[in-house]
Chain A
Amino acid sequence: MDKKNWKGWLYLLPAILFLGFFLVYPLVDVFIYSFEEGYNSASQTYFGTGLYNYSYVLHDPYFLQAVENTFILVLITVPVSTGVALLISMGLSSIKPLRDLYQTIYFLPYVTNTLAVGLVFMILFKKTAYTDGLINLMLSWFGGNAIDFIDGPYPAKMFVLCFYTIWVVLPFKILILTSALASVNRDYYNAAKVDGTSGFRIFRKITLPMISPMIFYLVITGFIGAFKAYSDAVALFGTDLNAAGMNTIVGYVYDMLYGNSGGYPSYASAAAIILFAIVLTITCINLLISRKKVHYV
């Protein structure tokens, strides 16, 4: 080893210590807890080791409900939000007047507090004894029956949750995609135009490949973000998500640690590790697909 190397390590030391204490150590710890049955964090004791925690979690109907909810949320919101964001940013980059105004408007949700947004959604969607809510009012114009989106049937609740999630993640995606679109050299479009390329073909053959790294980034972070969804559900349906049947995996982990049924760090750890495994698998699949579809130039 080079003699001067110790200096490099010295410079890295603060970061390594910091990350070690607060990131690596807890990760390893969670992994260990997930195999320790009935771990008690106060007394630091447990009954034995094994796969019991996993077995319990995987047989818990609440967990299965949470997994189902999370998957539905991910599979709907990630493609839809990315697609809508792409449409909006294409629109934004093709208009000139009022572009800055629109950009600001579309970015506003990003700087708005999640819970505040949740409150607004509640007002829009919730049906109370006094009012059916704004959305139901609009539905009634078209002859629809009033639906309770917040405490009503499962599809209605899932619809609100997806709608809410898409709305919240949209601004960031629009921001990224507008800048990606702006960075595509105009000459490519000019060249295509001179060659008589149709608008759709320009989009499919030039625009999409050119911004594919950014789309890929958004899909990966979108997947991870959606798998970790929790606060959105709380903002809409309150803290007792299990009762509402709208829990997510992260919500389940939280409940196991601190909720009404809290005090089970072992189950929480097992659920967290399962979530980790799911996210890892999905990300790996994404990476494999991206090798063919994403063009880094």
Chain B
Amino acid sequence: MTELEKKGFSHNFIQSIVLYPEKMDEGRILKQIDFRFPVYYEGMKAMKLGCPTKVKSRRYTVCDRKNKEKTMKVILQNLTKKFPGRSKNGPKEIAAVDDFSFEIPDGKLIGLLGPSGCGKSTTLNLLCGLQKPTSGKIFFGEEDVTDLPAEKRGVGVVFQNYALYPHLTVKQNILFPLENLKGAQKLSKAEMMEKANEAARLVQIDDLMERKPSELSGGQQQRVAIARALVKRPRVLLLDEPLSNLDARLRLQTREEIRRIQRETKITTIFVTHDQEEAMSISDEIVVMKQGVIQQTGRPQEVYDAPVNLFVAKFLGTPPINVFQGRIKGQKLYIGEEVIMETKDLPDQEVFVGVRPEGFVLSKDGSFSCELKGVEVMGRDISVVCANRASVNPTIRAIISAENKVDASRALVRFTLKPGKVFVFHKETQERICFLKD
């Protein structure tokens, strides 16, 4: 390690000075350096580069995000949170988060997805430090933050109800986290305003700074909450059900907005939702949870295309997957008495068969017959509602292209099934047994 590295300069920076000293003008150096750390300052003196006058007058400056390793990966290691059980006869402890191990890549948007009560919010609280884990560890980058209090973790949180201070204006709300800074981090009024304005511009609310939260629409409040969470440049941004308080149209718009902000800031972002559509649409990766246990992680499409168990298959997708009682006999998959398709190397057993709504293809001589109950026209495509005795739910929904004509007066419809859209699950463990690909 060189002298300069000890002083906190990045390896790349030193190399570029050594290799191309003539190219390192004042502006470039300014861009590279985060002046909040005095070591940089001293380092510059050591290099006899001299201190630019601009730096002297302003102790701190907004650092250039692209060159700073501000964002970081988040690692959860066997994270467990148990709460004391309430009921006398029930278990003594309830694990809200159970042995949670997961690595969140640097600068990505991760959706924590699961039905209510599955421990998503507890996970979020553990991440931001409002709750302490029973066991396990949390790392931000290389740093173990498990025992750090919330304020020292450098996280920004957007709460479900936004938690904007109602008696303060938008500006005061955004300034609030900055005004908490103490000691060496303390900023001057002008610097605070600059940072607040920058955050406000990022979420496009710079013209609403003097309003009170009650004078804003739900979407605008949401943006203010994001700006307040971002103004301190957190290492990790946490969003708790960010869209649940918005109406349908605004929800679409806001989720794109969150995506854009995340892309621009490149801050590792974790957001919690029970809405699978929301999670799938904007996340780089999703984590599907059930009762405190991770079911599956992966890119949204991967998880959708290859669910590991019946729960994940049921949870993702609208309309939901159709589930049938089926069985495997003599290398053939049966639903009811009908042979659906061939299977390979599977022992005879009772199974659950899941078929995605888009996995049905109308076909006159299809192997799978259903009792037709009705046809719903949705413009782009049509939804065929039918019934089958083997179905777990009373109705089956098949989505087919609107170019197909379905005669609603017919009693029976026949389908063939697309192999990639059919999943076979073990009857007891509900784990997926196989894919049925060609």
User: Is A99 at the interface (CB under 8 A from chain B)?
Assistant: no
Q: Please give, as numbers and ranges, the residues of chain A lying within 8 Å of B128 by CB-CB distance.
A: 194
Interface residues of B in 371-423 (CB under 8 A from A): none
Contacts across chains A and B counted by CB atoms under 8 Å: 58
Residue in A closest to B160 when the chains form the complex, CB atoms:
A187
User: Is B88 at the interface (CB under 8 A from chain A)?
Assistant: no
CA distance A295 to B213 in the complex (A): 13
Contact in complex: B157, A191 (CB < 8 Å): yes
User: Is B28 at the interface (CB under 8 A from chain A)?
Assistant: no
Contact in complex: A194, B151 (CB < 8 Å): yes
Question: A190 and B163 in contact (CB under 8 A), knowing A195-B177, A195-B232?
Answer: yes
Tell me the minimal C-beta distance from A59 to chain B in angstroms: 48
Interface residues of B in 111-170 (CB under 8 A from A): 128-130, 150-152, 155-157, 159-161, 163, 165-168
User: Is B180 at the interface (CB under 8 A from chain A)?
Assistant: yes
Contact in complex: A297, B166 (CB < 8 Å): yes
Q: Please give, as numbers and ranges, the residues of chain B lying within 8 Å of A195 by CB-CB distance.
A: 151, 176-177, 180, 232
Contact in complex: B176, A190 (CB < 8 Å): no
Query: How many A residues touch the partner, as a band?
Result: 20 to 34
Contact in complex: A198, B180 (CB < 8 Å): yes
CA distance A206 to B165 in the complex (A): 7
Tell me the minimal C-beta distance from B161 to chain A in angstroms: 6
Residue in B closest to A188 when the chains form the complex, CB atoms:
B163
Q: Please give, as numbers and ranges, the residues of chain A lying within 8 Å of B228 by CB-CB distance.
A: 191
User: Is B367 at the interface (CB under 8 A from chain A)?
Assistant: no
Query: What does the 1/0 interface line of A262-297 toward B look like (CB < 8 Å)?
Result: 000000000000000000000000000000000101
User: Is B214 at the interface (CB under 8 A from chain A)?
Assistant: yes
Query: What does the 1/0 interface line of A58-72 toward B look like (CB < 8 Å)?
Result: 000000000000000
Tell me the minimal C-beta distance from A89 to chain B in angstroms: 20
Interface centre among B152, B159, B168 (most CB of A within 10 A): B159
Q: Please give, as numbers and ranges, the residues of chain A lying within 8 Å of B214 by CB-CB distance.
A: 297
Contact in complex: B180, A196 (CB < 8 Å): yes
Contact in complex: A194, B157 (CB < 8 Å): yes
CA distance A295 to B168 in the complex (A): 9
CA distance A198 to B181 in the complex (A): 10
Contact in complex: A187, B176 (CB < 8 Å): no
CA distance A195 to B151 in the complex (A): 5
User: Is A210 at the interface (CB under 8 A from chain B)?
Assistant: yes
Contact in complex: B130, A193 (CB < 8 Å): yes
Query: What does the 1/0 interface line of B220-238 toward A look like (CB < 8 Å)?
Result: 0000000010001000000
Q: Please give, as numbers and ranges, the residues of chain A lying within 8 Å of B152 by CB-CB distance.
A: 196
Q: Please give, as numbers and ranges, the residues of chain B lying within 8 Å of A185 by CB-CB distance.
A: 161, 163
Interface centre among A190, A194, A210 (most CB of B within 10 A): A194
Contact in complex: B163, A187 (CB < 8 Å): yes
Tell me the minimal C-beta distance from A47 to chain B in angstroms: 58
Question: A191 and B159 in contact (CB under 8 A), knowing A196-B152, A196-B180, A297-B214?
Answer: yes
Select one of A191, A192, A198, A295 contacting B166, CB under 8 A.
A295
CA distance A297 to B181 in the complex (A): 28
Contact in complex: B159, A190 (CB < 8 Å): yes
Tell me the minimal C-beta distance from A212 to chain B in angstroms: 8
Contact in complex: A197, B180 (CB < 8 Å): yes
Tell me the minimal C-beta distance from B152 to chain A in angstroms: 7
Contact in complex: B130, A297 (CB < 8 Å): no
Interface residues of A in 183-240 (CB under 8 A from B): 185, 187-188, 190-198, 201, 205-206, 209-210, 212
Q: Please give, as numbers and ranges, the residues of chain A lying within 8 Å of B176 by CB-CB distance.
A: 192, 195, 197, 205
Query: What does the 1/0 interface line of B50-80 toward A look like (CB < 8 Å)?
Result: 0000000000000000000000000000000
Select one of A188, A194, A206, A209 contacting B150, CB under 8 A.
A194
Query: What does the 1/0 interface line of A36-74 toward B look like (CB < 8 Å)?
Result: 000000000000000000000000000000000000000
CA distance A212 to B165 in the complex (A): 14
Select one of A197, A198, A209 contacting B167, CB under 8 A.
A209
Contact in complex: B167, A295 (CB < 8 Å): yes
CA distance A236 to B155 in the complex (A): 59
CA distance A201 to B182 in the complex (A): 12
CA distance A185 to B157 in the complex (A): 16
Q: Please give, as numbers and ranges, the residues of chain B lying within 8 Å of A194 by CB-CB distance.
A: 128-130, 150-151, 155-157
Q: Please give, as numbers and ranges, the residues of chain B lying within 8 Å of A206 by CB-CB distance.
A: 165
Select one of A190, A201, A212 contacting B180, CB under 8 A.
A201
Q: Please give, as numbers and ranges, the residues of chain B lying within 8 Å of A212 by CB-CB distance.
A: 167
Contact in complex: B165, A190 (CB < 8 Å): no
CA distance A271 to B189 in the complex (A): 54
Question: A196 and B130 in contact (CB under 8 A), knowing A187-B163, A206-B165?
Answer: no
Q: Please give, as numbers and ranges, the residues of chain B lying within 8 Å of A190 by CB-CB distance.
A: 130, 157, 159, 163
Contact in complex: B151, A196 (CB < 8 Å): yes
Q: Please give, as numbers and ranges, the residues of chain B lying within 8 Å of A198 by CB-CB distance.
A: 180
Interface centre among B129, B152, B163, B214 (most CB of A within 10 A): B163
Interface residues of A in 146-205 (CB under 8 A from B): 185, 187-188, 190-198, 201, 205
Q: Please give, as numbers and ranges, the residues of chain B lying within 8 Å of A187 by CB-CB distance.
A: 159-161, 163
Q: Please give, as numbers and ranges, the residues of chain B lying within 8 Å of A297 by CB-CB distance.
A: 166-167, 214
Contact in complex: B151, A193 (CB < 8 Å): yes
Supplied contacts A191-B157, A196-B151, 10 more A-B pairs, CB within 8 Å: A191-B159, A191-B163, A194-B157, A195-B232, A196-B152, A196-B180, A197-B176, A205-B176, A206-B165, A209-B165
Q: 3 shortest A-B CB distances, which residue pairs?
A: A196-B151, A295-B167, A195-B177
- 16 A–B contact pairs at CB < 8 A? A185-B163, A187-B161, A193-B130, A193-B150, A194-B128, A194-B150, A194-B155, A194-B156, A197-B176, A197-B180, A205-B176, A209-B165, A209-B167, A210-B166, A295-B167, A297-B214
List chain B positions with a Cβ less than 8 A from chain A: 128-130, 150-152, 155-157, 159-161, 163, 165-168, 176-177, 180-181, 214, 228, 232
List chain A positions with a Cβ less than 8 A from chain B: 185, 187-188, 190-198, 201, 205-206, 209-210, 212, 295, 297
